[in-house]
Structure 1
Amino acid sequence: MIATTGRAVGLDFGTTNTVAALAGAEGDTALIPVDDADDVFRTALCFWHDEDVRGGVAVEAGPAAIREYLEFPSDSRFLQSFKSVAASASFDTAPVFEKRHRFEELGRMFLERLAAHAGGALDQLDRVVVGRPVTWAGSRPDEALARTRYDAMFAGFAREVHYVYEPLAAAYSHASTLTEPTTLLVADFGGGTSDFSVVRVAEPGAARRCVPLGHAGIGVAGDRFDARIIDRLVLPFLGKGGQYRSFDKVLDIPGGYFADVADWSKLAMMRNRRTLAELDRLRRSALDPDAIGRMIALIENESGFGLYGAIGGLKRALSQDASAAFAFHDAGLTIEAEVSRTEFEAWIADDLARIAATVDRALIVAGVTERDIDRVFLTGGTSLVPAVRAIFTARFGEARIEAGGELTSIANGLALIAQDGDVSAWTA
């Protein structure tokens, strides 16, 4: 094990955003600025042809990737939420122009560009402590596969690489604000997963401040909510529920295309020769060919980023107001709708129920009841959705709920853990 004085970093590699924090010598942490002094780095990649680059294809990540995409959308390949496929055995490679890239290759490219924008703060690290979800995203997540891919992705990034449950890192961070022994439930809501840890926090100055009691997680979070909105507002314009002719039969259009459009990690990957050829054949036999044509245009025009922005804006507005306007204009597609918070909450009702059941499971695993929980700490962007917060206020009461550091608490907690001489007590 390295000494705690070595260069150590906590890295919250998130589905939507990535944040890094440097562990200080005095038990403090500092967020690492990236790209124009911002400390939140979008987990996204953009590829484009460039004859001056070896291999003829250039790549950027984070805000620079977004800027490149916005300047040349039709000539780019924009990938986002690719962390969601880490545990997916069905994911093999992502097509990017003439090449295909494995998950770990995408991850290494992302880390290289993140380090380049960090001004040397992520170079020559002794230790990196990386956050990971309690339960990986996907219908059948493969834990061993995700670990293998992460190991390959982070190989060479630091002399030591450790993995810690994301809500446990948030608990470690929040514990620094507590002044008395506390049984703490941390709920971390990201883009791909919702994760929960129950931690017993000792009094300040204790030899071991945090003792994990139990964890639970589910692959349902912000991206799933986005998919519900796409299903209701967008997919009907792209042919969902439609039919096509096959010889003398009229059949329903397969649902797989629509499921992929609604999944940020898959939408950009639909822009490949085989999928577009299949959709073109479907368009010619569809009863409503214009709808399938709009789907093809959405894919060919790399419109996922604009669609993501429109949906994110709607969710943020509904977190503040009882109703909000949705507007998307791109690829010859114009969708405008007024959405009430009540409607949105009805669309995600099943997801909320599954999240609530996972909270129950975390308490059971930890061997505690709701009455044993002294404080609840909510973090992650999706924790700002009122219906998500209501799960906890209904059970624990408003007085026990605390929130904050939605985008940074995990990175700070990981950096605090990275200062420990032996991180084995924390690793997942």
Structure 2
Amino acid sequence: MDKAAASALGLDFGTTNSVVALADGQGGTRLVTFGDAGDAVFRSALCFWEEERGWNGIAHEAGPWAIDEYLQSPLDSRFIQSFKSVAASPLFERAMIFNKPFRFEDMGRLFLQRLVAHAGGALDERPRRIIVGRPVEYAGARPDPELARQRYDAMLAAFGTEIYYVHETLGAAHSYASRLTEPTTILVADFGGGTTDFSIVRVAEPGAPRRCVPLASSGIGIAGDRFDYRIVDRLVLPLLGKGSRYRSFDKLLEIPGGYFADFGDWSRLAMMRNRRTLDEIRRLKRDAERPDLIGRMIALIEHEQGFPLYDAVGKLKRALSSSKHAPFHFTGGGIEIGAEVRRADFEQWIADDLRRIEAAMDQALARASVTPAKIDRVFLTGGSSLIPAIRALFDRRFGEERIATGGELTSIAHGLALIGEESDPAEWAT
């Protein structure tokens, strides 16, 4: 498909990965690929370093190139990932990077600039219609959807002129509907990095004036990033001093949990490498019962090991999707952590999260006035849908024969581009 022939663009701006699809005006789409490797999945990450020619004296990269830049010089750069998770947070105003303030929309604009630059010209002339995926429920404490909309508008101001925001699950529904040949009621479950969302959609026969009719949606701010943090919390943080004690005068007190909570939030973890915070932790180390454990925490912060740590956690999580036990191994900043982890342990760590996810699914069914027996097909998408405990939840509720998968990382962008071809995409917008 010639880039000039694209009639609409679907942008799945994800917490972990981003994907772009272009519609051809004939019911077909193609994924935009990035770099010489031709990968359609672009990591939602940024790396910053000081450089006079950069914006405000700071240069940046995005996607896998951000990872490469960080790994080349971790102590002289700042690596940011999962920044979509703060889009709706009124508690997040800006991240201070090399003493310069960066708002969410600033990071978003810089991210999109590099995404376009690495697309090999495929996005230099974008179609008029841009369909952007958004979660049903945003991540974070007390999320503010209107604030997220304002930030998204500012982020995308230079990206397109006719922009529609559509629930990501409805994009996935359109993608899956293209496989169907008869009327079907489907439940779409999208397991992203920051949120898990559900939509119930009635799909008409091919050729119907309106192929998909949404019945109800629901969502919850629990997904892949939360599962990663459960591993960090149960496996890693005890090895950094969580649960241990320090002496204050004649009392033994537990080390404050706030330091360990920062390891679950990129906007705080990335900022812990400052003199005040490190001086506080060094004082804790001096009075700690286990100073060696606090020393590990200091080493991780001083040597900017947040990304390698979470990369090791992600590898473990993926390994446990295909094996009943797997090794966890992390080396960096002069420390080494290793353990053998059973899938059963991981499933226990995320059990409460899965119960809350199932309750959100039940909410969608109740809103649509549809029982599980009336769902003809369940379409699972998103990287965390590959976790066996999640698949087992749906097998138990709906039966294995009704479950469909495929295109876990690309189906949403594909469907969003298809929505852009409809006569009035505003009917789908939220």
Band of TM-score, shorter chain? over 0.9
Aligned partners of 2:100, 2:223: CA distance in 1, in Å? 31
Aligned equivalents of 1:409 and 1:274: distance in 2? 45
What is the CA–CA distance in structure 1 between the aligned matches of 2:276 and 2:104, rounded to whole Å? Answer: 20
Normalising by structure 1, we get a TM-score of 0.96
In structure 2, how many angstroms separate the alpha carbons of the residues matched to 1:348 and 1:340? 13
- The whole-number CA distance in structure 2 between the counterparts of 1:44 and 1:228 is 21
2:19 match: 19
Deviations 1:265-294 (A, max 9, x none): 542232344433432333333333332222
Could you say which residue in structure 2 is the equivalent of 1:111?
Answer: 112
**Partners of 1:256 and 1:49 in 2: CA distance:** 29
Q: Is the 8 A contact 1:227 1:263 kept in 2?
A: no
What is the CA-CA distance between 1:17 and the residue it aligns to? 0.2
Task: Compare 36-45 and 197-206 and name the one that shifted more.
Answer: 36-45
SS in 1 for 2:161: strand
Counterpart residue identity of residue 339, structure 1: V
**Residue 244 of structure 1: how far off its partner (Å):** 2.7
Question: How many angstroms does 1:295 deviate by?
Answer: 1.3
SS at match of 1:376: strand
Find the counterpart in structure 2 of residue 139 from structure 1: 141
- Give the match for residue 44 of structure 2: 43
Report matched runs for 1:373-412 at 5 Å.
Answer: 373-412=375-414
Superposition map of 1:149-298 within 5 A: 149-298=151-300
Give the AA of the match of 1:195. Answer: D
Kept in 2: contact 1:197–1:362 (CA 8 A): yes
Contact 1:245 1:286 (C-alpha < 8 Å) held by counterparts: yes
Structure 1 unaligned runs (5+)? none
Distance apart, 1:423 and its partner CA: 0.9
Letter of the 1:229 counterpart: I
Contact 1:62 1:114 in 2 (8 A): yes
Unaligned runs of 5+ in 2: none
On the 8 A contact 1:223/1:263 being kept in 2, the answer is no
Tell me: CA distance 1:323–1:6, structure 2 relative to 1, closer, same or farther (3 Å).
Answer: closer
User: Which secondary structure state, in structure 1, belongs to the residue aligned with residue 337 of structure 2?
Assistant: strand
Residue 88 of structure 1 aligns with an amino acid whose one-letter code is S
Rounded to whole Å, the distance in 1 between the matches of 2:166 and 2:245 is: 47
Q: 315, 329, 335: which is aligned to 1:333? A: 335
Q: 1:11 is aligned with what amino acid? A: L
**Greater mean alpha carbon deviation, residues 73-82 or residues 179-188:** 73-82
Change (3 A) 1:272 1:129: farther
Whole-angstrom CA distance in 2 between matches of 1:376 and 1:238: 41
8 Å CA contact retained: 1:124, 1:158: no
Alignment check: 8 A CA contact 1:134 1:195 kept:
yes
Give runs of ≥4 in structure 1 deviating > 4 Å: none
Determine helix, strand or coil for the equivalent of 1:237: helix
Partner SS for 2:346: helix
CA contact (8 A) 1:86 1:149 kept: yes
Task: Check the 8 A contact 2:35/2:118 in 1, yes or no.
Answer: yes
Cα deviation code 1:117-148 (max 9, x no counterpart): 11232234312111111111113212221111
What is the rounded CA distance, in whole Å, between the counterparts of 1:214 and 1:167 in structure 2? 11
Indicate the SS of the match to 1:337: strand
SS in 2 for 1:299: helix
What amino acid is aligned across from residue 169 of structure 1 in structure 2?
G
Find out whether 1:73 has 2:74 as its counterpart.
yes
Task: Provide the secondary structure at the position in 2 that maps to 1:269.
Answer: coil
Give, as a single letter, the amino acid of the residue that structure 2 aligns with 1:113. Answer: R
Deviation at 1:418, TM superposition (A): 1.1
Aligned partner of residue 158 in structure 1, secondary structure: coil
Aligned residue for 1:324, secondary structure, equals strand
Code of the aligned partner of 1:207: P
Q: Distance in 2 between matches of 1:351 and 1:54?
A: 40
C-alpha distance in 1 between matches for 2:364 and 2:276: 43
What amino acid maps onto 2:362 in structure 1? D
- Corresponding residue for residue 367 of structure 1: 369
**Shift in CA distance, 409/266, structure 1 to aligned 2, threshold 3 Å:** farther
Q: Say if 1:35 and 1:63, in contact at 8 Å, map to a contact too.
A: no
How many Å apart are 1:6 and its aligned residue? 6.8
1:54 shift after superposition: 5.2
- Secondary structure of 1:63's aligned partner: helix
Preserved contact between residue 14 and residue 190 of structure 1 (Cα < 8 Å)? yes
Alignment partner, residue 10 of structure 1: 10
Is 1:99 the counterpart of 2:129 in the alignment?
no
Conserved 8 A contact 2:95-2:267: no
Alpha-carbon separation, structure 1, partners of 2:139 and 2:54: 34
Question: Aligned partners of 2:84 and 2:180: how far apart in 1?
Answer: 32
Aligned residue in 1 for 2:326: 324
Aligned length: 425
Change (3 A) 1:52 1:118: same
| Percent identity for Structure 1 against Structure 2 | 65
TM-score between both structures, scaled by the size of structure 2: 0.95
Aligned twin of 2:32: 32
SS of the aligned residue for 2:271 comes to helix
Deviation per residue, 1:284-323 (Å, 9 max, x gap): 3333333222212212212122112211111111111111
| Residues 341, 317 of structure 1: alpha-carbon distance in 2 compared, 3 angstrom cutoff | same
Rate the CA distance shift 1:278–1:146 in 2: closer, same or farther, 3 A.
farther
